[in-house]
Amino acid sequence: MYGTPFEIFGVVHVLTIAIVILISALLPKFYKNKSDSQKLTMARIIIAVMHFILFLPHTKIISVRESL
């Protein structure tokens, strides 16, 4: 019903950590020479994604996983 237990060094967790570190390192380098309007647009996109993740009811995420 709840899937597999959380593993601190599981494949999904390590992959997620690697992706977060990679994005954290590459975004500043990518936007270093961009205009302020492009930086503002990216900031708005990041904020929208964060709001979507934070305010999405977790019960919907669980029900989607159970239906797969």
- Interval 37-48: pLDDT, tens: 998 998 899 899
This prediction has a pTM of: 0.52
Question: Average pLDDT, stretch 16-36?
Answer: 89
| Domain assignment of residue 41, yes or no | yes
Parent domain of 46 = 11-67
pLDDT given at position 18: 93
| Domain assignment of residue 42, yes or no | yes
Of 57, 60, 58, 62, the C-alpha closest to 1 is 62
Residue 39 · residue 31 · CB < 8 Å: yes
What's the structural domain count of the chain? 1
Q: Residue 13 pLDDT > 90, yes or no?
A: no
